[in-house]
Chains A and B, each alone.
Chain A
Amino acid sequence: MSDLTRKTAAELAELMAAKQASSVEVTQAHLDRIGAVDGAVRAFLHVDTEGALAQAAAVDAKRAAGEELGPLAGVPLALKDVLTQEGVPTTAGSKVLEGWKPPYDSTVVKRLKAAGIVILGKTNMDEFAMGSSTENSAYGTTHNPWDLARIPGGSGGGSSAAISAYEAPLAIGTDTGGSIRQPGAFTGTVGVKPTYGGTSRYGLIALASSLDTPGPCARTTLDAALLHEAIAGWDPMDSTSINQDVPPVVAAARNGDVAGLRIGVVKELGGEGYQPGVEARFHEAVELLTKLGAEVVEVSCPHFEYALPAYYLILPSEASSNLAKFDAMRYGLRVGDDGTNSAETVMSLSREAGFGAEVKRRIMLGTHALSSGYYDAYYGQAQKVRTLIARDFAKAYEQVDVLVSPATPTTAFAIGDRINDPIAMYKNDLCTIPSNLAGNAAASFPCGLADEDGLPVGFHVMAPVMRDDLLYTVGAALESALAEQWGGVLMTKAPELEVTR
């Protein structure tokens, strides 16, 4: 049998449905791959070998008993360490939560388990999802399988690296300002941020509540759509969840017909500061879509230039409050409890010891933005900009069905390159942030390699609220047209990782 780890989730599901492979075999193959390459990639913070094999065996038993199973039953998956899974260590990449085992499953995990999807382990991320490189993880940086000296993007670098290193066919990420899409772009994989409220945040350790969105990561558009369908839908445990049917994402991914689709290229997302190789691949992809029958026009979203500043007020404000719960009283790291220090002092010492530099920076910024005397100028004004950005989108969607841009201004950068320059790091998310502010659906699809560095470029698609299906329509069209050119998906061009035992 050919290498199971090279197959897509859809192919694996088919093999298992045809009983040509068991979930235990598929799971073991991926566990072996993790053992072979993760020493170099470091995508995983925790590998749940026993749990994964037990889950796989349970799926196999159900299949043997003739039970009806979901379309992805038995397929393994890598879970971003920001989602709770009962009894499995969950750290959100922070020292503050080292060793914490949640007593409950997040809704996403509940749905994965119900779908028979096998959870291999927890993936690395920037601490509390604050970052664009995984360099802010308290547990070390994840390496980009395309070039181990480079970052895999962030915050969900672990999830994207895991699928791009064939350690898992599927992964879950969370996207607050681009944390699914930017790592997707940097690793040549598909990353989808569903409509805010389309997937449940219950059990997602909050960074910025009004922006956070869990979503699928995969090597193909169809795999992403299958996973999207498995985890999406209304959740009564999340007040901001949308009580509507999941958009027909799988049908869209199978269909992929862009004839007559109106596509708007966002004028403001390009030009100065964008790497030439990124722009070249992006424009070629637009050309390709035109050839496939799409109507392409240029659209202006004049307030997008204020998205980044607004985001870096709204996010830290919400985060400063969300992260207050990490106080060493009920769970997590406790420092300085020597019998004489007060609770107040122990809280301060523990937070000082448990949080990394970027987390502290953002907590301080958010505390400042919300404090009396500054609220109106900062947080209040940022919320107004948020309104303007949503209006830009609404106006654009009167003209076109979807908007497109490069997913990131550059390709993956070298480890250590931007870690001491927070603002350069923040600018990674220029293209992805507006969709979070407006709650739109958005995704990054691989569209080639930049000439300068031979690294993957992401094609960014934005669609209106609850029109996630349009993302997959565009992604699937692009994917099949490019595969024809390349003789396979972009991932087939990735260099082979050295296998160690």
Chain B
Amino acid sequence: MPSITREEVAHLARLARIELSDDELDHLAPQLDQIIALVGQVSQVAADDIPPTSHALPLTNVMRADENIPCLTPEQALSGAPASEAQRFRVPRILEED
């Protein structure tokens, strides 16, 4: 029984917005299954009372003063844009409302 099915991989691809080909799905499912078996070893460590670590170092309260710093020019901001129009990023029609 694999830990991850082809259908689940297809679902993940939709979540991750990657249009995987059928061929890739065929390959990825068993590969991910193997990798998940490896990484699943973390569950062998009994750690109920262990706090999780999200950051490498225990820093807190790093903040900056509410001050302005110079912006990019609109030309710089748009310099990498695949398409632009009227000083805005031009994107294909959006299907879903946010």
Contact = CB atoms under 8 A, between A and B. Distances in A.
A385 interface: yes
B59 interface: yes
Contact of B95 (A342, A380, A465): A342
Contacts of A501: none
A388 B45 contact: yes
B1 interface: no
Interface string B13-34: 1011111110010001001101
> By CB atoms of chain B within 10 A, which of A100, A345, A361, A384 has the most?
A384
A260 interface: no
Contact of A331 (B20, B35, B81, B94): B81
B57 interface: yes
B92 A364 contact: no
B68 interface: no
A381 B43 contact: yes
B47 interface: yes
B92 A343 contact: yes
Contacts of A331: 80-82
A56 to B, nearest CB: 26
Contact of A310 (B42, B89, B96): B42
A387 interface: yes
Nearest to B41: A309
B35 A383 contact: no
B58 to A, nearest CB: 9
Size category of the binding interface on chain A: 35 or more
A80 interface: no
Given A312-B39, A423-B35, A355 B18 contact: yes
B53 A303 contact: no
Interface in A357-395: 357, 360-361, 363-365, 367-369, 371, 377-378, 380-388, 390
A239 interface: yes
B77 to A, nearest CB: 7
Contacts of A345: 19, 92
Interface in B59-98: 59, 62, 64, 72, 76-77, 79-83, 89, 91-96
Given A343-B91, A343-B94, A386 B53 contact: yes
B80 A364 contact: no
A351 B52 contact: no
A363 B56 contact: no
Nearest to A236: B64
Contact-residue bracket for chain B: 35 or more
B39 A346 contact: no
B91 A313 contact: no
A368 B31 contact: no
A422 interface: yes
A320 interface: yes
B69 to A, nearest CB: 10
B57 A383 contact: no
Contacts of A351: 16-19
Nearest to A211: B56
A309 B95 contact: no
Interface string A302-315: 01001011101100
Contacts of B53: 383-384, 386-387, 390
Interface of B: 4, 8-9, 12-13, 15-21, 24, 28, 31-32, 34-36, 38-45, 47, 50-57, 59, 62, 64, 72, 76-77, 79-83, 89, 91-96
Interface of A: 100-101, 103-104, 196-197, 210-211, 236, 239-240, 242, 303, 306, 308-310, 312-313, 320, 324, 327-334, 337, 339, 341-349, 351-352, 355, 357, 360-361, 363-365, 367-369, 371, 377-378, 380-388, 390, 422-423, 426, 436-439, 465
16 contacts: A240-B56, A240-B62, A306-B45, A310-B42, A324-B17, A330-B80, A337-B83, A345-B19, A352-B18, A352-B19, A363-B16, A365-B32, A365-B35, A365-B36, A387-B51, A423-B34
Given A364-B13, A371-B12, A423-B35, 15 more contacts: A240-B59, A242-B59, A308-B38, A309-B38, A309-B39, A310-B39, A324-B17, A343-B92, A343-B94, A348-B18, A361-B28, A377-B43, A382-B42, A384-B47, A388-B47
